[in-house]
Structure 1
Amino acid sequence: MTAIAHQHPGTTGFTDEFHRVRDFLVRINHAIPTTPGFLWGRWEWMFSLPYLDASALHRIRIWEHNGRVVAVVTYETELGSAYLLTDPEHADLLPDMLQYALEHLTRGGEVRVLVGETDHNLQRIAAAHGLTATAEAEANAVLDLAGDLSYRLPAGYRIASLANERDMLRFDRLLHRGFNNPGLPRANAEAIQERLTSVSGPHLNPELNMLVVAPDGDYAAYCGIWHEPGTTYALVEPVCTDPDHRRRGLGRAAVLEAARRCRDLGARAAYVGSDQLFYYALGFTPHSRGIWWKL
């Protein structure tokens, strides 16, 4: 059992340990996603975020067998929530993994653990440790990419990828407003660098990440997407539309264009960690849920 190396402030944290875990997630989800709520794209997105609590990275633990990673216990952006990710062939590690999470991933003395609603083995283990299920959950939905991925844009709007449009000031404004943050965007060098870092992951393909550009040149909608060449799935994260441009089909266009480009590279399904009606209206269907369990 080893730890993720500590990340020094100001670095992106794409260390050797990061890549080993990322390769582990690619491997166990290669044929059929076994951790749909925590695919490799979520791991890389987590390390791309400015609000990741880098001071706690040494608490992430990996288990190895014959020199390769077979299990991981991690938080996402801050301590207090634990994800147990394991190779199905090493499910015997789950009791130790859960015990580790309860002892080392706490925040304010408490931690919650995500347990798949059909993972009866982990449910029994959690119950034996004194945890109980709550009403809190994380939902996953999936889009069959063999379906209709067509869309229409209003006059004057155009679609573009991050490979062609990379104005981080406009990008920061879109994400600030698109996720309904209060006040004005910071519009300073720190904000610009944070946005640049968020789209600079080592496996992010800018050709797949789509912007809708408004007639005045502002960025109106965005869909981030993560796809590994040779795999049959993609992960949608994040998606937003500027409030001034909503209800015009722009978010739909960004998501479906990103999905179409992944389909052209061999993906057959796109996952998203959400149960919002917006995604169901695009053709996504409910896939699975993780339930938060607490002591």
Structure 2
Amino acid sequence: MRIECRHYKEDDFIRVRDFLKNIFGKWSVGHVFMPARWEYIVFHPNIVPLKQAGVFEQIGLWEEDGEIVAVAHFESELGEVYLDVDPNYTFLYSEMIEYAEANLYEIKEDGRKSIEFHVDESNEALKALLEERGYIRDVALYEVYSGRSIVDELPDLKLPEGLLVRNIRKKEDDGRRLRVLWRGFDHVGEPDPKDLWNSCYMQSAPGYDPSINIVIENEEGNFVAYAGFWYDHLSRTAYIEPVCVDPDYRRMGLASIALTEGMRRCRLLGAENVYVASDVGLYKSLGFSQVSISYSWLKQLSDK
């Protein structure tokens, strides 16, 4: 059958997510972009300007008989490329690299075009092709996935007095959700009420489940910690994003408490494993270990 390549359209979101779900179990973790991570980033408020500018249309899809078999995409900005492909279609890698070089590059301030591919260290075929085309692996630029089973026993952590742990409530909690994310990611002052749409937008993602998005609330009713989870029933895996703690409440173990509660709730939904794109000490202390590492393969495509 003939395989056709085309540009991404707005209504392809679900189809790409479902494609990633279908191939997730066929590859090892890290070899494929996690479907929950795709959903998180597409519905992240910071991505809205890219959508409005038509940048998402530069993503490439390969289809056979109307079914997606491969996707070349970025995450949050042009120039950083991920290639996801059904294991039976890895012969498309060369074509996908050429597509990315023509459509997904970044233009630097000096006018030069550059591109980097995120490649799982276990993907020998893709690494060899990039090396043949003059790409250089930068071991200083990498991303990892850490994970753990949640079938096993979870930590029993004590919540400090005066605090309450619960899940988010849509609409009712939007303002407080915005505030804890604003302060938790070290922005100065208080959030602008005009940005309240941020919470509404992310929570409009089809896979957003308020029952597994955990907050810790103080006696004044403000949220002081947040741990977001995304659950994929097909693979029985959960993905963590985002996690933050208000600066005034750090070093109290609140992130660990919120994460543990979220993992417990994901387990009730049927989750067997949980993953996060990080290997910081917080996750190691909760029993996570590194399951994959991807390095950046870099190339300058042209002069000015």
Rounded to whole Å, the distance in 1 between the matches of 2:223 and 2:32 is 29
SS of structure 1 residue aligned to 2:114? coil
Matching of residues 156-195 of structure 1 within 5 Å:
156-163=162-169, 166-181=172-187, 183-189=188-194, 191-195=195-199
Partner of 1:110: 114
Query: Are the counterparts in 2 of residues 141 and 286 from structure 1 also a CA contact under 8 Å?
Result: yes
Question: Shift of the alpha carbon at 1:34?
Answer: 4.7
Rounded to whole Å, the distance in 1 between the matches of 2:116 and 2:229 is 28
Rounded to whole Å, the distance in 1 between the matches of 2:208 and 2:221 is 24
Q: Call closer, same or farther: CA 1:87–1:16 in 2, change over 3 Å.
A: same
Question: Structure 2 counterpart of 1:266, which letter?
Answer: G
Question: Shift of the alpha carbon at 1:16?
Answer: 2.6
Question: Shift of the alpha carbon at 1:31?
Answer: 6.4
Question: Shift of the alpha carbon at 1:207?
Answer: 0.7
Percent identity, aligned pairs only, is: 32
Q: Deviation per CA, 1:96-154: give whole Å up to 9, x if none.
A: 11111122111111111101112111110110111010020011100211223232211
Rounded to whole Å, the distance in 2 between the matches of 1:58 and 1:33 is 28
Partner of 2:261: 257
* TM, length-normalised to structure 1: 0.91
Partner of 1:71: 70
Higher mean alpha-carbon deviation, 90-99 vs 144-153, is at 144-153
Question: Structure 1 counterpart of 2:185, which letter?
Answer: F
Q: Call closer, same or farther: CA 1:222–1:192 in 2, change over 3 Å.
A: same
Rounded to whole Å, the distance in 2 between the matches of 1:154 and 1:165 is 27
Rounded to whole Å, the distance in 1 between the matches of 2:92 and 2:262 is 37
The two structures, once aligned, show a CA RMSD in angstroms of 1.7
Higher mean alpha-carbon deviation, 38-47 vs 160-169, is at 160-169
SS of structure 1 residue aligned to 2:106? coil
Partner of 1:241: 245
Question: Structure 1 counterpart of 2:270, which letter?
Answer: G
SS of structure 2 residue aligned to 1:156? coil
- Larger fraction in strand: 2
Residues paired across the two proteins, number: 284
Partner of 1:58: 57
Q: Call closer, same or farther: CA 1:160–1:36 in 2, change over 3 Å.
A: farther
Gaps of 5+ in 1: 6-14
Rounded to whole Å, the distance in 2 between the matches of 1:214 and 1:247 is 15
Matching of residues 11-160 of structure 1 within 5 Å:
15-30=10-25, 33-35=28-30, 38-52=33-47, 53-54=50-51, 55=53, 56-108=55-107, 109-134=113-138, 135-149=140-154, 150-160=156-166
Query: Are the counterparts in 2 of residues 139 and 274 from structure 1 also a CA contact under 8 Å?
Result: yes
Higher mean alpha-carbon deviation, 232-241 vs 147-156, is at 147-156
SS of structure 2 residue aligned to 1:173? helix
Rounded to whole Å, the distance in 1 between the matches of 2:258 and 2:32 is 22
Rounded to whole Å, the distance in 1 between the matches of 2:97 and 2:12 is 21
Question: Structure 2 counterpart of 1:23, which letter?
Answer: D
Q: Call closer, same or farther: CA 1:39–1:278 in 2, change over 3 Å.
A: same
Query: Are the counterparts in 1 of residues 74 and 104 from structure 2 also a CA contact under 8 Å?
Result: yes
Question: Shift of the alpha carbon at 1:43?
Answer: 0.9
Q: Deviation per CA, 1:161-196: give whole Å up to 9, x if none.
A: 123784222211211111122x2233222x100122
Question: Shift of the alpha carbon at 1:19?
Answer: 0.7
Rounded to whole Å, the distance in 2 between the matches of 1:146 and 1:236 is 17
Partner of 1:281: 285
